[in-house]
Amino acid sequence: MTARDSRRHLLLTLLRAALAAVDGRARTRAALEGRAGAVLARAPAVRVAAVGKAAAAMARGAHDALGARMASCLVITKDGHVDPALRSLPGVEVLESGHPVPDQRSLDAGARLLAFVRSAPPDTALVLLVSGGASSLAEVLAPGATLEDLRGLNLAGLASGVAIGELNARRRDISLIKGGRLLGQLGGRPALALLLSDVPGDDPAVIGSGLAAAGPAGPDGVERVVVASIKDALCAVRTAAAGLEVEVSETRFSQDAERLAVRFAHELHFSRVPLRVWGGESVVRLPPQPGRGGRNQHLALAVARIIAGDERLVLLAAGTDGTDGVTDDAGALVDGDTCARAMLAGLDVEDCLRRADSATALAAAGDLVHTGPTGTNVGDLVIGLKLAEADARAWLAAQPAGR
């Protein structure tokens, strides 16, 4: 195992621990088996609607907890994010939809979701499971709004680097199911909303553009529980890194990716501890004809440019949902030789950053991180390591078998 391999292995071990701590299936099951499930105690049957990139995993968790009480379940999720075992469960309907840019399937899914909620029998409770991605995956448009309006809004937001909270507010303005409007259709029936948060403040009014939010009147008898957030992932990294000093950022990042790259590289370079951890979501302003990549890959490549030639530093940036932008990679893991490896492949790192084509450079360097769909979505995780090869090897050797 080379120095690069040992430190890479260490960071990937910590990433796996973070993802396990915010697993949508496990956190949903625990919530329904715990205090949150008391809301459903008097209902003889429960309908489950799950929307978002972690919808399939959350639906599995609901079935684990509810068993035969789960009378029916509607799952709306991103292409390729469906657990095959879910389709074999009785009463489960699965719809794959458009993300990050909505398409006609998003409108079809929104109509089906609205009908699913409206048609529940009076003695049936509703469990609404929401995770990031719900904004694009299901929509019912307000009168006068069109699919092109919706697509244009999403595309403009992605291209200009609008923060997720502001983009979700714009989406709510043209929606008949966001901002508390969906749960306004319950007519007093009991309901429980469980949410995986990928937004600042973990506010149900912002998660999924407020798909599980209360309406303008305020209290509505719906209990809302955030079952996991980026804070849980950060705490899991600290716990999993036992034996190493760790500095966990107290603030959630949300700035421009290249500015953040300067900050993270600076903090890591001057760090007195070997491990630094940050959570949040960066933004990238795209050129007219962007290449391949996502915000985590862009951030990682920008860091690689700054730490080029420094053999002490390694940094991982990844989306906890397992995807980054329009790619199937979660992010990237870079070191002081990343730029050199990309250059040997004939690529100009500065040019790749300028054209938002980070995936091309990182693929050439062998630095992309691929996890596949993770069953969660709590934002992005950045882990920086300043550690000698011998110390990384020693830490790995001390870990339990199977990690």
Q: Bridge-partner residues for 92, per DSSP? A: 73
Supply the pLDDT for residue 166.
72
Q: Which helix (H) or strand (E) holds 7?
A: helix 3-21
Q: Is 249 exposed, middle or buried (0-12, 13-18, 19+ CB in 10 A)?
A: middle
> How crowded is the C-beta side of 335, counted as CA atoms within 13 Å?
23
Supply the pLDDT for residue 1.
35
Q: Any residues with CB less than 8 A from the CB of 72 and at least 6 apart, and which?
A: 47, 48, 91, 92, 93, 116
Q: Is 23 exposed, middle or buried (0-12, 13-18, 19+ CB in 10 A)?
A: buried
pTM here is: 0.94
Taking Cα atoms as reference points, which of 8, 22, 16 lies closest to residue 240?
A: 16
The token duo for 194 is 């469980």
Strand order in the sheet with 191-196: 92-97, 70-78, 45-51, 124-130, 191-196, 223-228
Q: Where are the alpha helices (DSSP H) in 133-229?
A: 134-137, 147-160, 164-173
- The strand pair at 45-51 and 313-319 is best described as unpaired
d(C-alpha 150, C-alpha 257), whole Å: 25
Supply the pLDDT for residue 160.
67
Ordered per-residue pLDDT tens for the chain, 403 residues: 344 689 999 999 999 999 999 999 999 999 999 988 888 888 889 999 999 999 999 999 999 999 999 999 999 999 999 988 999 999 999 999 999 899 999 999 999 999 999 998 888 999 999 999 998 999 999 999 999 999 988 787 766 666 666 777 777 889 999 988 999 888 878 899 999 999 999 999 999 989 999 877 777 889 999 999 999 999 999 999 999 999 999 999 999 999 999 999 999 999 999 999 999 999 999 999 999 999 999 999 999 999 999 999 999 999 999 999 889 999 999 999 999 999 999 999 999 999 999 999 999 999 999 999 999 999 999 999 999 989 999 999 999 876 6
Domains and CATH numbers, the chain: 3-20+231-397 (3.40.1480.10), 23-228 (3.40.50.10180)
d(C-alpha 270, C-alpha 24), whole Å: 36
Q: Bridge-partner residues for 195, per DSSP? A: 130, 226
Helix 257-269 to helix 295-307 angle, to the nearest 10 degrees?
40
Distances (CA, A) of 226 to 27, 36, 266, 367: 10, 10, 33, 33
